[in-house]
Amino acid sequence: MHSLSPDVFARRRRRLIDEVGEDGAALVVGPPPRNRSNDTDYPYRPSSDVLYLTGFGEPEAVVLLIPGHDDGDFALFVPDRDPNYEQWEGRRAGPEGAKEKYGADQAYNLSELDEKLPELLAGRSTLFYSLGSDPAMDRRVIPWIRDKRHRRNQVSSIPGQVADLRDLLYPQRLVKDEEELVLIRRACEISSEAHILAMKYCRPGMYEYELQALIEYHFRRNGGCAPAYNSIVGAGDNATILHYTDNHSQIDPGDIVLIDAGCEYQYYAGDITRSFPASGSFTPAQRDLYQAVLDIQEAALAEINGNTTVEAIRDLIARRMTEALLNLGVLNGDPEELIEEKAFKKYYPHGFGHPLGVDVHDVGHLRLSEDDDLPLVAGMVLTLEPGIYIPADDESVPEEMRGVGIRIEDDLLVTPDGCENLTQSCPKSVEELEAIVGTGEASALNL
């Protein structure tokens, strides 16, 4: 099992501390556990920003970076130790553990937060905080700021302005360091193996959730914390629903099965989509649609490098997608007009990808879609995932193509001159898919 060394977190905090400067402070607040039903919670997933800066995984942790503070830059507030809680629910690090294991210069119990925070913020003019990212956190933080503003008349040493922490932290999170790339590579590898398992053991007559179970079994068995997002296993026209997660239909022999699933390994996400024929062979119409998506994906992949932009890739895909839909008889009309109108959006309504990292849609606001005109930079990891989805009831499309959904998604590390496909090992050519689907020894899994 890999994990990040304390040095990695210290380096990340140092970069942020240098940007915040001695006039400011940075505050990151982890969310509380979320209730699932009655007295049962969802498994706790720490805030990605807390994880990125500390690796600390307990609920409601508060990270405070106070550059140049006499007692050290890095203060961590952690849940109070409580023998009763720990007997029932699990171990807690407490302030001592926060110092020893997580490198905090100053560590406090969460119960000390309201008393300690004003003290630690004294003399700072700007508080960097991600206001609006989580309403529950804001409800907690806004009163601090409001109270401080009230008290400002008497105590001039309390921060009077709030700046957006995301402007400093997200550009940093977007470009991956060598240590985290090790974890991302492993997340991608486990994800790829899981897709191969699903391909091998797919049989018409199975239920979608059986393939989901195989995939998630493989994730967990290899040390994955969880699926990085809800696994999508859609057969037939379920594949045309972009975020289909019911996964409870039976798979018919003529179906294309679309699986979009990725492993979260040490809090880093993999994200792969494959679409394959349940029976092991494509119909001619399915094959034409599939090959069209694959050609577009490979054309775009060849253009991704550290010297291009999101806009250039998006334009290339818009053009290629329009041409492909015309060739397939799905769209009709003048190519230039159709591109101008974005007519392809009816059949390919999403962006071509997104950055990948601690979050599956990494660093919040970026989707590489619509109006983003972001330069691609070496060290970014992003997905490339064109698709074509033909609604079952679309009578303007040749009948044999209706109710087919295809998406092909790989995870790419941008390099100065090109990109490295981190999910290369997951089969995607027509020949590879037809050769592998259904070849698993049924007795091995008691199918």
* The one catalytic residue among 73, 264, 385, 411: 385
**Which of 124, 361, 410, 411 does the annotation list as catalytic?**
361
> Least distance in Å: CB of 359 to Mn ion?
11
Under the binding rule (CB under 5 A), the answer on residue 362 touching Mn ion is no
Q: Is 383 in the site for Mn ion (CB under 5 A)?
A: yes
73 or 271: CB nearest Mn ion: 271
6-14, 205-213, 237-245, 382-390 -> range binding Mn ion (CB under 5 A): 382-390
Which among 93-101, 150-158, 380-388, 415-423 is the span making contact with Mn ion, rule CB under 5 A? 380-388
Q: Which of 243, 336, 340, 341 is catalytic?
A: 243
| Cα–Cα distance measured from residue 80 to residue 170, given in angstroms and rounded to the nearest whole number | 30
Query: Which CB sits closer to Mn ion, 113 or 242?
Result: 242
Least distance in angstroms from the C-beta of 82 to Mn ion: 40
39 catalytic per annotation: yes
119 is catalytic: no
Please check whether residue 113 is in contact with residue 77, taking contact to mean a CB–CB distance below 8 angstroms.
yes
- 3-state SS string for the chain: CCCCCHHHHHHHHHHHHHHHCCCEEEEEECCCCCEEECCEECCCCCCHHHHHHHCCCCCCCEEEECCCCCCCCEEEEECCCCHHHHHHCCCCCHHHHHHHCCCCCEEEEHHHHHHHHHHHHCCCCEEEECCCCCHHHHHHHHHHHHHHHHHCCCCCCCCCEEEECHHHHHHHHHECCHHHHHHHHHHHHHHHHHHHHHHHHCCCCCEHHHHHHHHHHHHHHCCCCEECCCCEEEEHHHHHCCCCCCCCCECCCCCEEEEEECEEECCEECCEEEEEECCCCCCHHHHHHHHHHHHHHHHHHHHCCCCCEHHHHHHHHHHHHHHHHHHCCCCCCCHHHHHHHCHHHHCCCCCCCCECCCCCCCCCCCCCCCCCCCECCCCEEEEECCEEEECCCCCCCCHHHCCEEEECEEEEEECCCCEEECCCCCCCCHHHHHHHCCCCCHHHHCC
Q: Is 264 a catalytic residue?
A: no
Choice among 170, 389, 410, 411 that is catalytic:
389
Shortest Å distance, C-beta 277 to Mn ion: 22
Q: Which is nearer to Mn ion, 289 or 368 (CB)?
A: 368
Rounded to the nearest whole angstrom, what is the least distance from the CB of residue 188 to Mn ion in the complex?
12
Q: Which is nearer to Mn ion, 69 or 428 (CB)?
A: 428
Residue with smaller CB distance to Mn ion, 60 or 271: 271
Minimum Å gap between C-beta 409 and Mn ion is: 5
- Considering 208, 409, 410, 411, which one is annotated as catalytic? 409
Partner residues linked to 78 by β-bridges: 109
Amino acid at 72: G
Among residues 180, 271, 362, 411, the one annotated as catalytic is 271
* Annotated catalytic residue within 140, 319, 350, 402: 350
Contacts with Mn ion, 257-286, as mask; x by CB under 5 A: --------------x---------------
* Smallest gap from residue 411 Cβ to Mn ion (A): 8
Looking at the Cβ atoms of 54 and 212, the one nearer to Mn ion is: 212
Instruction: Compute the least distance from the CB of residue 356 to Mn ion, in Å.
Output: 8
298 is catalytic: no
User: Given 260, 359, 362, 411, which residue is catalytic?
Assistant: 260
49 binds Mn ion (CB under 5 A): no
91 is catalytic: no
The set of residues, in sequence order, having a beta carbon less than 8 Å from that of 47 and lying 6+ positions away, is 28, 29, 30, 31, 61
Q: Which residue stretch of 99-107, 125-133, 184-192, 375-383 sits at the interface with Mn ion (rule: CB under 5 A)?
A: 375-383
18 given a catalytic annotation: no
218 assigned to active site: no
Does 410 participate in catalysis according to the annotation?
Answer: no
User: Is 407 annotated in the active site?
Assistant: yes
CB of 162 to Mn ion, least distance (A): 32
> For residues 200 and 367, which CB has a smaller minimum distance to Mn ion in the complex?
367
**Count of residues touching Mn ion (by CB under 5 A):** 2
Report d(CA 194, CA 74) in Å as an integer. 39
The answer to whether 421 touches 272, Cβ cutoff 8 Å, is: no
Which residues belong to the active site?
Answer: 39, 243, 260, 271, 350, 354, 361, 385, 389, 407, 409
What is the contact surface with Mn ion in residues (CB under 5 A)?
A: 271, 383
